[in-house]
Amino acid sequence: MSELTRPMTALLRRSAALVPAGHREWAEAIWAEVAEVPAGWQRLGWLAGGVRLTVREAARGHRPWYPLAFVAAVAATAWSAWSGPPGDSAVEINRIDVIAIAVILAGLAWIIRRARGPVADARLARVVRTGGYAAVLALVLAKSAVERVADAPPNNLSGPAVAWTGEAVFLVVMASYAAVILAFTARHSPALPATMAVGTVTGIALGVMAYLLGPLGFPLRFAGPWPARTYDAAMALGALLALCAPVMAGRAAARRAGRSRPAGAGAGAGAGARQGAMAGLCSGTAAALAVAVLSTATIAILPYDTRLQHWAGGHIGQWTPVVGQVTPILHPRLGYVAGNSAFAAGYLIVLLLGPLAGSAFGAWGARVRPGSRRPQATRPWPAMKRLLVRGKPAT
Partner 1 sequence: MTGRPEFSAQTLSVLAALCAEPSAWQHGYAIARDTGLKSGTLYPILIRLADRGLMEARWEDEQPAGRPRRHLYRLTPEGLASATAALAYAPPPVKAQARAGLSPRRRLSTQA
* Nearer of residues 52 and 187 to partner 1, judged by Cβ: 52
The DSSP annotation for 168-214 comes to: HHHHHHHHHHHHHHHHHTBTT-SS-HHHHHHHHHHHHHHHHHHHHH-
- Whether 376 and 369 have beta carbons less than 8 Å apart is answered as yes
- Whether 256 and 195 have beta carbons less than 8 Å apart is answered as yes
Residue 220 dihedral angles phi and psi, to the nearest 5°? -85, 155
Residue 322 and residue 338: Cα distance in Å, rounded? 8
Separation in Å, CA 246 to CA 106, 352, 354, 356, 363: 30, 16, 10, 11, 9
CB of 7 to partner 1, least distance (A): 17
* Nearer of residues 17 and 37 to partner 1, judged by Cβ: 37
CB of 378 to partner 1, least distance (A): 54
* Nearer of residues 9 and 285 to partner 1, judged by Cβ: 9
Which residues here bind partner 1, judged by CB under 8 A? 23, 25-26, 28-33, 35-37, 45-50, 52-53, 56-57
* Nearer of residues 36 and 121 to partner 1, judged by Cβ: 36
Judged by DSSP in three states, 316 sits in strand
CB of 22 to partner 1, least distance (A): 9
CB of 36 to partner 1, least distance (A): 5
* Nearer of residues 20 and 332 to partner 1, judged by Cβ: 20
* Nearer of residues 16 and 91 to partner 1, judged by Cβ: 16
CB of 39 to partner 1, least distance (A): 13
Q: Which residues contact 26 (CB under 8 A, 6 or more apart)?
A: 19, 53, 57
CB of 5 to partner 1, least distance (A): 13
